[in-house]
Amino acid sequence: MRRTRIMRAGLAVLLLLGAGAAAGTVPATADEKAPASAGLLTAMQRDFGLSRQQAEARLAAERQATALEPKVRRTAGTSYGGSWFDAAEGTLTVAVTPDTSAAALREIRATGATVRTVAHSARELSATQARLDRLSAPEAVSSWHVDPKAGTVVVNIVDGRQRDNDVREFVARARKAGPVTVREVAAAPTTFAAGTVGGDPYYTGNVRCSIGFSVYGGFVTAGHCDQHTGSVYGWDRSYVGNFQGSSFPDNDYAWVNVGSGWWTVPVVLGWGTVSDQLVRGSNVAPVGSSICRSGSTTHWHCGTVLAMNETVNYSQGAVHQMTKTSVCAEPGDSGGSFISGDQAQGVTSGGWGNCSSGGETWFQPVNEILNRYGLTLHTA
């Protein structure tokens, strides 16, 4: 009984497709990938309004786009302006600046990718975002990220707060940093830790959080879950291990060693909504890709990758290089996994809204955590 529970809940590996293969991960090749589970396809049909055939076709197209992105990035070189997955067309769109060579354009188009010309390179937009990261943002400024489609850095401001003096001052300084567009969002982001509730995957201090996914020797999760009490306890309140490292704010990641009769498995828990998902690697899913989240409060939900490398302005401080999704989450889901297909993407950080009315959720990319602590993702 305990063995089964540990594998399913105690190590409810909540996966997120990572940005690029991390050191120590073992991403599967296209030929090695197992067909999508019936449960995953059912979830995509439910959350995206697709037929089974459409869901299968979208997953196949997303796998191709994920594999293609690093190739076209190298081909475009300094002219690269970003890329995203176009779900309607089932193709990768690549943004390039007007100075892109004819040879590079031919090579990119030969891959089947769509090419779009933009005014600013990804490097220029990243530099603008870095300048914004050095500013102190008021709480009404929710986040900011590079939007390759718009060719600008998007600053998200809580609805109705644009006229606040401190917001207007921040926006004025932001516009001096480079190309900036302001958008309104429904609410400010918060983290998803929760008070202690019986029967959930792990506890530390006075909070409950969710396990992210297995690494050799332990698991990764959200940094804000670390209450600096050291010890971590599983669903049955038995001792699991200790926090070995954590960072929040600036980052939102942590890792816990596993022992005392607990062990790691390369699985993301489906909670009976879908089949438990095997983890086979951590290749990064492009913007526009479908992605699912597993957490101890709201269990399994799916959505779309909305933006990458976004700076999120929590009340505790800014967290950088986050990925934004349309997936909902609630308190207690913090630290849980995001997964795209069979590729781990990251651990749940925070967001706004809930799984009744909807919302948005950010995750900390898993590959950054692996690289930071020299960890190896446990894969099937």
- Between 122-133 and 165-177, two packed helices, what is the crossing angle to 10 degrees? 140
Q: Which of 145, 224, 301, 378 is catalytic?
A: 224
Summarize the confidence of residues 67-84 as an average pLDDT: 97
Highest mean pLDDT: which range of 8-17, 96-105, 235-244, 270-279: 96-105
Summarize the confidence of residues 138-165 as an average pLDDT: 95
The mean pLDDT value of the chain amounts to 87
Is residue 92 within 8 A of residue 115, CB to CB? The reply is no
pLDDT more than 70, % of the chain: 89
**How many CB atoms neighbour CB 154 within 10 A?**
18
Q: Which of 226, 252, 276, 333 is catalytic?
A: 252
pLDDT in tens, 24-52: 222 333 333 456 777 778 888 988 999 99
Position 162 scores a pLDDT of: 93
Sign (positive or negative) of CA dihedral 290, 225, 136, 351: positive
**How far, in Å, CA of 161 to CA of 45, rounded?**
37
Position 275 scores a pLDDT of: 80
Summarize the confidence of residues 90-94 as an average pLDDT: 96
> Does residue 301 carry a catalytic annotation?
no
Summarize the confidence of residues 235-239 as an average pLDDT: 85
Is residue 266 within 8 A of residue 379, CB to CB? The reply is yes
**How far, in Å, CA of 75 to CA of 98, rounded?**
15
Query: What secondary structure letter does DSSP report for 178?
Result: S
Highest mean pLDDT: which range of 28-37, 50-59, 366-375: 366-375
Q: Is 70 exceeded by the pLDDT of residue 194?
A: no
Provide the whole-model pTM: 0.80
> Does residue 224 carry a catalytic annotation?
yes
**How many CB atoms neighbour CB 184 within 10 A?**
12
Q: Is 60 exceeded by the pLDDT of residue 90?
A: yes
Query: Is beta strand 317-325 parallel, antiparallel or unpaired with respect to 299-314?
Result: antiparallel
Separation of CA 38 from chain center = 23
Query: What secondary structure letter does DSSP report for 138?
Result: P
Which residue would you say has higher pLDDT here, 317 or 1? 317
pLDDT band at 200 (very low <50, low <70, confident <90, very high): low
Tokens representing residue 245 in the block: 């490292």
Q: Which of 79, 83, 334, 337 is catalytic?
A: 334
pLDDT in tens, 298-319: 999 999 999 999 999 999 999 9
Query: What secondary structure letter does DSSP report for 6?
Result: I
Nearest to 373 by CA among 224, 256, 281: 256
> Does residue 238 carry a catalytic annotation?
no
Is residue 66 within 8 A of residue 343, CB to CB? The reply is yes
**How many CB atoms neighbour CB 260 within 10 A?**
10
Is residue 262 within 8 A of residue 236, CB to CB? The reply is no
